[in-house]
Chains A and B, each alone.
Chain A
Amino acid sequence: MKLFEHSNPTSVQEAVKMLSVQNARPIAGGTDLIGVMKDGLLPTDRVVNLKSIPGLDYIKEESGEIRLGALTRIGDIASSSVVAQKAPALAQAALAVASPQVRNMGTLGGNLAQKVRCWYFRDSDRADCYKRNGSYCYAVFGLSDVHAIFDGAACFAVQPSDSATALSALGANIVVAGPEGETVIGVDDFFIGPHVDYLRETILSPEQIITEVRIPASAVGQKSVFLKAAPRRSIDFARTNVAALVIGDPVQTVRLTLGAVAPTPRRATEVEAFLVGKRLTAEVIGQAARLAVNGAQPLASNGYKVQLAQGLVRQALTRLAG
């Protein structure tokens, strides 16, 4: 690891200021950034430690919303009774993240703003990868087990966050602080694909940070579910995950999001439109599952994700039907 400067801001404004130099990166739990730095994947000259900012670690209910500070650790979300009762998909997603050790370090903000896990990107020898400002995607004619079946464009890395999928289904909003002050943005608009900018996975500019995540009142207390499939029952990033929120029977409101199948969490809007007004019978669920993978374009070795996504959607909706 190269030498770098480490700074401890005590306020969000100070952090934003410290981030305004080149190759400055925010750190919270460090479970992602340290690996990126050790492998020399992205040049890093300054690390801005967000943990020194007080008051960003909380789970509270306010104006009917659940608000989570960006520094809330994943493990605390997984064990929060408020989240478990009122936003079950997020609690289940938090519990599905990595291992207990990582959950006890990693934060919600970091989980949303982490870099992709593409195995070519993470190989320090593959410096010409798009995500490293290069010009090639090894996944197209390489091994694509962990890559996108939807919306790949030049780069085929997927958004690895489990919590992002759950928050998308919950219709959450993200509070972002930057030099121009605070903005609130929906999760679905927070993530961007390579067609927009292959160097970033989110709208965050280098000097912007996440300060809070808000689960809207409309989703609080509603039935929701998160499911994840990964090689192992612990530790691994999702090969596919799914989260769904269903209100009403017949369905009045439904939000369904697939994760790890596309460069961003992928709302299944076609499925949502199909489900509104219907009862979640086995047949309807089967049709919805098929519709969820409509238009998938797998690469050489991620075709299994099409079947897997379908299976997970079926199981998720079946649970919400019960």
Chain B
Amino acid sequence: MRTPRAAPALLLAALLLVAASGPAAALAAFAVTRVELVFPNGRGEITVPLRYPQLRAFGMLRFSAVGVVRATWKVDGRILGPVVEPTVFNEDLIVATPELPTFEPGLHKVTLEFTDPKPAFKVPTITYFVTAEDYEDFKRRMEKLK
């Protein structure tokens, strides 16, 4: 059942379209409204063997206006690569990292640091764990298990 247009409905529109302030100010402003970072398993964490090739993270980004997003992929605080992409109003922009480094066993943190526009919320940080087992040994072990 549809309810009359009232304050809650307005608030929802604001939640969708607004980065920081009210709706009238926000629609024209180029702002990021949603950021989701995932690994190929669809989750915010993954465990891979040492020197695992072609590991990437993906970002699903949404914006409240048209513009060119500029951001930097970072791993453990180091720059991994830039993102310079045109966006479309209210549509997801999907960006991918270059190949993530997997030569260091242990936990690593991946995030996307925005230069423009600056998000009004904390951008997620996702983690991947590199084990000490070499990828070639891991492959052989998995084949044996099968």
Q: Do A and B come from one complex?
A: no
Chain B contacts to A: CB under 8 angstroms = none
Chain A contacts to B: CB under 8 angstroms = none
